[in-house]
Structure 1
Amino acid sequence: MNHHANHLQYPVPLPWKVRKQDLLVNVRLYIPGGGASQLPWSGRQPTNRPAGKTGDKTNHKDYPVPVSVVARFMQDCKASWPFGNSEFYFMNQNESIIQSGPIRLIVVDDDPEIGRALTRLLRHEGFAPDYFEDCAPAVEAARTGQYCAILSDIAMPGMDGIELMRQVRRFDFDIPIILLTGEPTIDSARKAIELGAYRYFTKPLDHQELAAAVKSASFAHKMAKIKRSSAQMMGRAGEAPADMLGLMVAYDAAVATLWMAYQPIVNAADGSVFAYEALMRSESKSLPHPGAILSAAEELGMLDDLGRRIRLLAPVPFMEMGNKALLFLNLHPRDLADPQLLESGTMLAGFADRVVLEITERASLEKIPDAHATIAALRSRSFRIAVDDLGSGYAGLNSFALLEPEIVKLDMVIVRDVDTNVTKQKLMRSMVDLCHDMGIQVVAEGVETRTERDRCVELGCDLLQGYHIARPGRAFPSVNW
């Protein structure tokens, strides 16, 4: 029954104690007549679980196994599952199950004759396909999470194969989708691959090639579920969608729930509020932090739209609540090439004299056309300019020459432990003195302790920002001084 497992070679012994960071999952194996001792994780003590947990079958054992071993084992078994019709489970602490066995498929084709023929072919190859003539019920079936892959025709009345992909990606980023067409064109193939179809086949189908693709898709689906499950158990957010269409859906959802958090920047002399920095936030679980949203926008060519959305949202609380503090707003270098940045009729332009535009020193401005002219135009409209993350990037003096900032923000790497690190104290003092000689105010960013705060004040920083003073929150957080 498990003859494939006999040939698996694991050169590294698998001791009971594993690395602290290696996540354990429970592998439940039911094999008629036993035989589990020859598996690569043999020697581990099975956990005690109620008999009959998987139904009326009681001949099973649960083995706690590191995810890395499970992944390696699955890769070794990619060509053929070693357990035939036996049951093979990966279970996390919440008892969610990734089950091996008959590979369940959704087949969608508006031509019943073709659809039924394809279903018979797949069933003959050992799969368990369910056929749907229309996309809508197929999408609802996919919601159950019981399927390993979807095979769909592209050209269909009503919802076509591309729209089916879009609908499925709204709730499932992992299930592979194989597209089929009887009218192949270069454009249809390019679009299918660009949007993230797992494979693209033309009719008539090569049976062996299709079966191999389905097996490969099933393996990819199982691995994706294991990775996502392990990330959840480790308290980390799941990975972003792997295909373009999934990324588009996730990005749209993130932008739809976009909101701005605000973090106070205070005067070092007395702790009074000088400004608030606007920071992008979203309720999205697929793109759970600003870096993920920015990366998605860049990949999708949506940076201009994202920048405009942020510039639209950031000023609103200041207007609604009559807050007279300054607004610090981060600009992506690409924003400098957006003509809307200079438009006079926007809400942001309406109180430009209270807006400080931050540009990170990590960014290279050399590829931005007419960046110097854009900076000059912004300053002529009363915007102020700040260099962010000073001390972390490679732009160096070029940033100062191009931006001529009124404010600089020292990178938090310099601020961290400045109260005890003599080298950082000397570096901060030199940077503060240089900036003051040029008439530039200095913000110490990332202040997390009282002693860091006091040392930054002692070394001459004009303004302070960090968790010790206030965490980012909805407009407007209170200051701890």
Structure 2
Amino acid sequence: MLPTVLFLDDEPELTRGVARALRKASFRVVTANSVEDARTVLAREEVHVVVSDERMPDMSGSSFLSELRTEKPDVTRILLTGHGDLDVAQSAINRAEIFRFLRKPCPPDELESCLTEALTARDRYLAWAEHEQREHARQSTNSTFGSALGGLWLAMQPIVRPDGTLFAYEALARVPHGTFRGPLELFESAHELHRTTELERAVRANAALLASQLPAGLKLFVNVEPSSLGDAELYDDASPLSRVASRVVLEITERAPLRSIVDLEGRIARLREMGFMLALDDFGAGSAGFTAFATLRPDVAKLDMDMVRGIDKSDVQQRTVRSMIHLCKDLGVMVLGEGVETDGERETLRELGVELLQGYLVGKPAPPPPVGRQSEG
């Protein structure tokens, strides 16, 4: 779509002549013979450049362009002046931020050249302004991210056996008030800022402290992005989480494809050697979930919440989950039903043979209890 130029002059013959002369230009020309008509055009359609004669009967062109600067700053402004209006033109350049002023009568080729330059300059300005806006937003997000990282804490959600005894907690990232709206926005911002590794390391350091304070026999599930499987710190025996590896279940999320990880099998073997258990999140969520299951051979498979929701009312879901449980038991993999919210869902999962349960019915995420207050019952 061609850019639009509005030409304002109180002489109809002149505006018709301009429209004829520029009909083959690389932009579209619309005309107005009064400031009121010009305002109507501006309200009706998008205009990129306005050319106004200074001597308009209802309002001076410079005053109109100055008004336009406030109301529509993205519109480029050009002033047409007679020989006696040079002082006014100079003032208008400062007051209305005129791109250029042209003397009347202005030859069509000079007018077309000026308008082409104005449109090019406008495009450059808008590109610069957009870049500046993005950069400002990035800096603001970066600052917010730093504050969130400094105040990061982990909530704990219980994971229980079918008889209700405590098996583990899942550590869930939480952000301080006044930063991001929630952990999802935090992780999305980390990705945009290329600070995911930094965030994951902070989560693991916090999780290590929690794991070290759990009573003997309890595990801590810690979410790990696939990209973190490429982080050398995860495999460092001296890193905080490595020191409590025997108490940690690394829960692999699928925000990125596992196949992109170099030497994935070797890395998984190394984590097991260090003492970590592995869990696969969202098992059953499409073919990718089964591919990840075959690749990871996890110790725990967490059923996708969509498989759990309303399972007590769906024969198809029950049959599907039963077959998944059968597969997992053949391979020695524990099955965890996540997102359990009703008694019916819990009882159905128990009857199907699910070995672990998690969800709001079992217990909501909450701040860690004081040291020594966690229990297994």
Short-chain TM bin: 0.5 to 0.7
Paired position in structure 2 for 1:451: 344
Name the structure 1 match of 2:138. Answer: 244
**Amino acid in structure 1 at the alignment position of 2:360:** Y
Instruction: Find out whether 1:364 has 2:238 as its counterpart.
Output: no
Shift of 1:320: 4.4
- SS for the counterpart of 2:313 is coil
Specify the alignment match of 1:297 in structure 2: 190
In structure 2, what is the Cα distance between the partners aligned to 1:454 and 1:216?
Answer: 59
Partner of 1:423: 316
Question: Residue by residue, what CA displacement relative to the aligned partner does 1:153-205 show, whole Å, maximum 9, x if unpaired?
Answer: xxxxxxxxxxxxxxxxxxxxxxxxxxxxxxxxxxxxxxxxxxxxxxxxxxxxx
Shift of 1:291: 2.5
Contact 2:281–2:301 (Cα < 8 Å) also in 1: yes
Quote the residue 2:287 is aligned against.
394
Once residues 98 and 302 of structure 2 are traced to their aligned partners in structure 1, the CA distance between those partners, rounded to angstroms, is 62
- Rounded to whole Å, the distance in 2 between the matches of 1:422 and 1:323 is 39
Q: Which structure 2 residues correspond to residues 34-45 of structure 1 after superposition, within 5 A? A: none
Matches within 5 A, 1:299-448: 299-320=192-213, 322=215, 325-361=218-254, 363-448=256-341
Structure 1 vs Structure 2 CA RMSD: 4.2
Q: Which residue identity is paired with 2:152? A: L
Distance 1:330 1:219, change over 3 A: closer
Whole-angstrom CA distance in 1 between matches of 2:293 and 2:365: 28
Q: How many residues align?
A: 292
Residue identity matched to 1:299: E
In the alignment, is the contact (CA less than 8 A) between 1:362 and 1:389 conserved in 2? no
CA distance in 1: counterparts of 2:296 and 2:329, whole angstroms: 16
Residues 343 and 212 of structure 1: is their aligned pair in 2 closer, same or farther, counting only changes over 3 Å? Answer: closer
Alpha-carbon separation, structure 1, partners of 2:158 and 2:43: 50
Aligned to 1:281: 174
Q: Separation in 2 of the partners of 1:465 and 1:428?
A: 16
Q: Which one has the largest radius of gyration?
A: 2
Q: CA deviation at 1:414?
A: 0.2
Q: Which residue of 2 aligns with 1:164?
A: none
Displacement of 1:220: 12
Q: Aligned in 2, Cα 1:380/1:215: closer, same or farther, shift over 3 Å? A: closer
The answer as to whether partners of 1:241 and 1:250 remain within 8 angstroms in 2 is no
Q: What secondary structure does 2:172 align onto?
A: strand
- Separation in structure 2 between the aligned mates of residue 433 and residue 449 of structure 1, nearest angstrom: 24
Aligned partners of 1:120, 1:327: CA distance in 2, in Å? 69
Aligned equivalent of 2:95, options 123, 128, 138: 123
Match of 1:255 in 2: 149
**Code of the aligned partner of 1:246:** S
Within 2, Cα distance between the matches of 1:338 and 1:315?
17
Aligned 1:20-99 pairs, distance under 5 A: 76=45, 79=48
Indicate conservation of the 8 Å contact 1:361/1:394, yes or no: no
Amino acid at match of 1:305: E
Contact 1:356 1:383 in 2 (8 A): yes
CA offsets 1:55-77 (integer angstroms, 9 cap, x no match) = xxxxxxxxxxxxxxxxxx98945
2:359 partner letter: G
Cross-structure match for 1:267: 161
Contact residue 312 and residue 348 of structure 1 kept, 8 A: yes
Other structure's SS at 1:347 match? coil
Specify the alignment match of 1:61 in structure 2.
none
CA distance in 1, matches of 2:164, 2:135: 43
Q: Deviations for 1:430-469, whole angstroms, at most 9, x for unmatched residues?
A: 1111111211111000111111111111111101011111
5+ residue gaps, structure 2: 1-5, 7-35, 51-63, 74-90, 100-116
- Look up the equivalent residue of 1:250 and give its one-letter code: T
Residue aligned with 1:394, SS? helix
Contact 1:353–1:383 (8 Å) recurs in 2: yes
Kept in 2: contact 1:432–1:461 (CA 8 A): yes
Q: Which amino acid aligns with 2:143?
A: V
Name the aligned partner's letter for residue 372 of structure 1.
E
Identity %: 35
Shift, 1:407, TM fit: 0.8
Q: Which amino acid aligns with 2:317?
A: K
Deviation at 1:313, TM superposition (A): 0.8
